[in-house]
Structure 1
């Protein structure tokens, strides 16, 4: 695990996310699916893996290409298997969220962090993607270094820890246009409703996880 980049040029590998691509997000129901988070994370603690921080402030938006990956990345963090071999997602965690689709409105250039060669291009290994929450200060620092060496990159894409081999991504709000995403209203499920919880449970079943709203039977 290298914590400081070597003093040589970093050459991140990039790929294009084309206009028209569909993304899924598990987001706060109180905010539109297209909203970027404007609140920077602390430099050392809390937050997410590639959030903007005080020393590199940028709005950020996490998404996935499949609805299950979006759910898993948001709801299955540190959820252990119970005595029955399934993972119950706390209702308080899920009920304020929605699962929604958005469509990309313009081509977006992303740094690829998928293969070992992609990681080597930024002087890293799988630690960058596998480290737990206690290392997010370092992963955010590394994201800043990647951004510095890839000034045209509008986000990054990597393999999801919680739904392999599918991919998750983050977009940088300071490098995207005014409206890089457009909501697809017909594909949105409020998880705080029975309909939304049922849809989420259909998706989560292969990962042996479930939501249990008050009044719903297993």
Structure 2
């Protein structure tokens, strides 16, 4: 577990995300689907794996290559299989604040690649960088800063989602993406506070044995495909 400060002179491997690539984002309902988050994380507390901090403030957003991956990245963190049917239950009060939206890239984006073991080894890292949780995020954010410095052309990073392997998760850097580099599709947005949106999300989560547990007012939001439903 290489939880040590990043050395100088990192040279990460790069890859290109082609123009027209479909991406999915699970985001707060009050934030636009393609709107970058501008609030930086504390250097030592809270935040997520590769958020920006005051040491390197930049707008950012997280996306995934599949809708279920985007949902899993937000809702399945440390979520145990403890439901009546052995499923992972997500509180509706949490999920109702979110939307699931489809985006696509309007231009090619150069990304730091952290998918294969060789990609991690190239920068002196291993799975710790992608697996560490909670307090470890303060350290992974320092690595993100160093990786950005080592790849000044990179507009983001890609890695294998630990909550929906082998699908990919991404963080994109707003200061390195041209305006309009991401386009949202308003007709492909699921509002999770609605019965239709909740039902659609649960269909996507069913194969991961997870569900957003609906309030009594939405009795039909659990699909039949869900174990235990």
TM-score normalized by structure 2? 0.92
User: Is residue 133 of structure 1 aligned with residue 147 of structure 2?
Assistant: no
**Other-structure match for 2:193:** 192
Quote how far apart the aligned CAs of 1:83 are: 4.8
User: Is residue 151 of structure 1 aligned with residue 155 of structure 2?
Assistant: no
Give the 4+ runs in structure 1 shifted more than 3 A. Answer: none
- Tell me, in whole angstroms, the C-alpha distance in 1 between the residues paired with 2:62 and 2:83: 32
- Tell me, in whole angstroms, the C-alpha distance in 2 between the residues paired with 1:78 and 1:175: 31
Closer, same or farther: CA 153–119 of 1 in aligned 2, 3 Å: same
**Other-structure match for 1:92:** 93
- Tell me, in whole angstroms, the C-alpha distance in 2 between the residues paired with 1:116 and 1:106: 28
- Tell me, in whole angstroms, the C-alpha distance in 1 between the residues paired with 2:7 and 2:97: 43
**Other-structure match for 2:162:** 161
**Other-structure match for 2:81:** 81
**Other-structure match for 1:102:** 103
TM-score normalized by structure 1? 0.97
**Unaligned 5+ runs, structure 2:** 220-228
- Tell me, in whole angstroms, the C-alpha distance in 2 between the residues paired with 1:6 and 1:27: 33
**Other-structure match for 1:24:** 24
SS at structure 1 position matched to 2:184: strand
Quote how far apart the aligned CAs of 1:216 are: 2.6
- Tell me, in whole angstroms, the C-alpha distance in 2 between the residues paired with 1:54 and 1:119: 25
- Tell me, in whole angstroms, the C-alpha distance in 2 between the residues paired with 1:26 and 1:129: 19
Quote how far apart the aligned CAs of 1:82 are: 1.0
Q: CA RMSD, aligned part only? A: 1.1
